[in-house]
Amino acid sequence: MIRNFLKIAWRNLARNKVYSIINITGLAIGLSCFLLITLYVMDELSYDTYYPNAKNIYRINTDIHFGSSIQHTSQTSDMMGQLLKKDYPQVESYTRIYVNDGHKLIRKGNDFIDEARVANVDSTFFDMFRLPAIAGDVQHGLDEPNTVIVTASAAKKYFGTTDIVGKTIEIRSSKNPFYKITAVINDVPHNTHFNFDFFFSMKNVDYKWGQASSHNFLTYIRLRPGADPKAFEKNFDTYIEKYVVPDAKRFMNINTIDEFRRAGNNLEYSLMPVTKIHLYSDRSFELTPGGNIQYVYIFSAVALFILLIACINFMNLTTARSANRAKEVGIRKMLGTERKGLIWQFLFESTSMVFISLIIAVGVVYAVLPLFNSVADKQMSISGLFSPYILPLLIALPFIVGLMAGSYPAFFLSSFKPVEVLKGRLKLGSKSGGLRSVLVVFQFATSIILIVGTIIIYDQLHYIQTKNLGYNKEEVLIIDKVYALSNNAEAFKNEVLKMPGVISASLSSYLPVSASWRNSHTFSRDAVLNAENGIEIQDWKTDYDYIPTLGMQIIKGRNFSRDFGSDSSAVIINETTAKFLGYADPVGKKLYSSDADSDGNTSAYTIIGVVKNFNFESLHQQVGPLCFMLGNNNYASSAIFKVNSSNIQSLIAQVETKWKTVASGLPFSYRFLNESFNEMYREEQRVGKIAITFSALAIFIACLGLFGLATFIAEQRTKEIGIRKVLGASVNSVVSMLGKDFIKLVAIAFVFAAPLAWWAMHNWLNNFAYRISIEWWMFAAAGAIALLIALITVSFQSIRAALANPVESLRTE
């Protein structure tokens, strides 16, 4: 029986080559998209799931609402983990990560290499995050200061081998330059929320320890099996009362956390499962750029819709050809074939076609996966299709899709009455036209939603690129790691400033883009800080030339000046800070800092100017309170140059030459500020590229389905068209007659798609504090594009039918 099914299936495929190619191509493209998105989704969901007891590991997050400022951070105090372990038996273990020291310069031969993937961690880190060791003792490798554990890639980079336990690396530091390598581990998997190559001992961190109200460490705890994380979170109020409030008394007149909260403030700690950090957390001081669970949902829906569109294609194309197989069904029924046998025959044919399409799809995925990885910023491999999570789906797909795609044709064709078929009285499609129209409406509704989504995403990205940010990001050259120059930093800046094309220069560690230095303290307009008058403000250390170099605007008062020695205790605030302080004219007023000295005296600063608000974080966030203070330029991490040169590469070469004269052996690293700005929206840009690609493919597959329906209708109305032409109908009128049905379907699809698209994109835009408005023309453009595509698709069959010889159309069979 199966051999007979195979023969019939092969003969039908060979007899209808064009139809078979279109059908298999549509399925193959749909399955390719489905498999690619499935790989993407599974990779996103796999982050941090492979550690032993991963379900019991949590990171402690902090939410601070103080004054009018709100902070959502991933950091806690240095002592929180050890105090929780001491006080609560539910805590089995804790570990910390400290990254505030930033990059490290590590010696290789006579030169130093800038390494960004570095961190200081506790000796318990590798007990919590079990990263496989190649050599050495990871459990106790960081018990002592001046020790380091490195990855295999780092070992090979610096020593050419992983057999390096006991050897020493040198970093550029005046305090602790030499570190003993105690272990080598396999490279950290890409699907984790940290990506370090060097793990230095926490005992080398230069930090003022024991301040429960300071938040500079990422703290992780592992709860004992059976412990309820929600119940455990209730202990945080007791922790705050016992440890944070007494420490906060150093700089604030506060006695209880309730007093703090009654003033409209709040401090909360919460547990976040480590397996959810990548997709659910967008807090400040994340170790790596995270994903977004919304995009996982969106792409999962897109994958399912594309697969459904491909199945709908199959049904429409198959029913469009049903007239050619009606006699076959009638004859086989007259010869005694049961309906059940016919159903199995058609399901076998559809499953076989899906199996062929699946083989092609896997080949397509293998071919395009490197390009998809580049666009999606992933490291997925074709072997992912054969993982325990995807392989069962891969095996089941031909049967699932074959059943979905072939069920309607199978039951429809097998229901033909042989007498009616053989007498020519069968009205094909009279009962099924409504269902086919519904399927096409679904296809184009999905396509319109994807088109609207793509238009809005790209319009938002264009808005981000063109919005007035309050500073100039164009033609701003950043030279990194100038702190390595120490006392020569100012001299280097002045030498570059003399070069043609360099307009102005500044030294600072703070830049108005993410992944830059950040620092905040509690300030007040009153000398005595309490729960009611405090404001958490970002305080940036800059020099005299920072504001003009970045093109910021002073709207009140003045900039820092070398002519005023008192500016060492002066401050420039932004508009948001001025609003929170409540001053109509803040210039000349005092601003008091919570950073008290050993006697408990707060620092007082005189406000000398107000800078117009500028977006110093991404446009996802509102502009918060910020102030500028003069800092020590010798410890600045970046040199900032406003340039205007027709030959920028020549200028960079000159700057590099000057660097090498003052920093022999140190790496030269540069970037442009607009590049760092664009990096903040890499996820949105990536989503935009993926969205437009899959939207185009979904539309292409939908067009194949529409082509099938046009073929079907043209076949069904052949005699009608012939009669109309004999009676004098023009080609245009016939084409118009056939096309108006499809216009109705697209119009109906638009009615359903528009509100769904508005709802989905409104929710997406809510992630941005600064965003575009959803305009009517976006929906009009999407509808027009869908309509144009539909008309172009059906025009071929319509014109062909209209130009057909009516004599052939009316000939008696």
pLDDT score at 295: 85
What would the pLDDT profile of 207-245 be if each residue is shown by its tens digit? Answer: 877 887 788 899 999 999 999 999 999 999 999 999 998
Look at residue 165 and tell me whether its pLDDT is greater than 50. Answer: yes
Q: What is the mean pLDDT of residues 96-117?
A: 87
Q: State both tokens at 250.
A: 């150093």
CA distances (Å), origin 513, targets 51, 473, 638, 681: 33, 10, 13, 11
Q: State both tokens at 729.
A: 């109908």
Percent pLDDT > 70 in the chain is 84
448-479 burial string, b = 16+ CB within 10 Å, else e?
A: bbbbbbbbbbbbbbeebeeeebbbbbebbbbb
Report the C-alpha gap between 540 and 508 in whole angstroms.
8
Look at residue 270 and tell me whether its pLDDT is greater than 90. Answer: yes
- Residue recorded with tokens 């027009």: 784
Query: What is the value of pTM for the model shown?
Result: 0.82
Contact 536, 580 (CB under 8 A): no
What would the pLDDT profile of 611-645 be if each residue is shown by its tens digit? Answer: 999 998 888 888 889 999 998 776 788 999 999 87
What confidence category does residue 430 fall into, taking pLDDT thresholds of 50, 70 and 90? very low
What confidence category does residue 813 fall into, taking pLDDT thresholds of 50, 70 and 90? very low
Look at residue 731 and tell me whether its pLDDT is greater than 70. Answer: no
CA distances (Å), origin 422, targets 12, 95, 339, 808: 20, 80, 17, 21
pLDDT score at 499: 92
Written as one string, the DSSP assignment of 651-702 is HHHHHHHHHHHHSTTSPP-EEEHHHHHHHTTHHHHHHHHHHHHHHHHHHHHH
Report the C-alpha gap between 133 and 186 in whole angstroms.
6
pLDDT score at 511: 92
Q: Residue 392 — φ and ψ, nearest 5°?
A: -60, -40
Q: State both tokens at 78.
A: 């240095």
End-to-end CA distance of the chain: 33
What would the pLDDT profile of 457-479 be if each residue is shown by its tens digit? Answer: 889 888 888 888 899 999 999 99
Q: What is the mean pLDDT of residues 422-450?
A: 68
Look at residue 325 and tell me whether its pLDDT is greater than 80. Answer: no
What confidence category does residue 104 fall into, taking pLDDT thresholds of 50, 70 and 90? confident
Q: What is the mean pLDDT of residues 192-201?
A: 94
Closest by CA position to 65, among listed 308, 317, 261, 329 = 261
Strands 502-508 and 638-643: what pairing?
antiparallel
What confidence category does residue 277 fall into, taking pLDDT thresholds of 50, 70 and 90? very high
What would the pLDDT profile of 587-619 be if each residue is shown by its tens digit? Answer: 999 998 876 544 455 688 999 999 999 998 888
Strand order in the sheet with 638-643: 502-508, 638-643, 476-480, 670-672
Contact 64, 70 (CB under 8 A): yes
Look at residue 326 and tell me whether its pLDDT is greater than 70. Answer: no
Closest by CA position to 691, among listed 294, 110, 413, 315 = 294
Instruction: Report helix, strand or coil for 281.
Output: coil
CA distances (Å), origin 635, targets 268, 543, 566, 609: 34, 12, 21, 25
Task: Give the angle subtended at the CA of 32 by the CAs of 29 and 38, to the nearest 5°.
Answer: 140
Report the C-alpha gap between 31 and 395 in whole angstroms.
13
CA distances (Å), origin 539, targets 288, 567, 595: 24, 15, 11
Look at residue 708 and tell me whether its pLDDT is greater than 80. Answer: no
What would the pLDDT profile of 503-543 be if each residue is shown by its tens digit? Answer: 999 999 899 987 788 887 888 888 877 777 778 888 999 99
Contact 565, 582 (CB under 8 A): no
Report the C-alpha gap between 278 and 292 in whole angstroms.
7
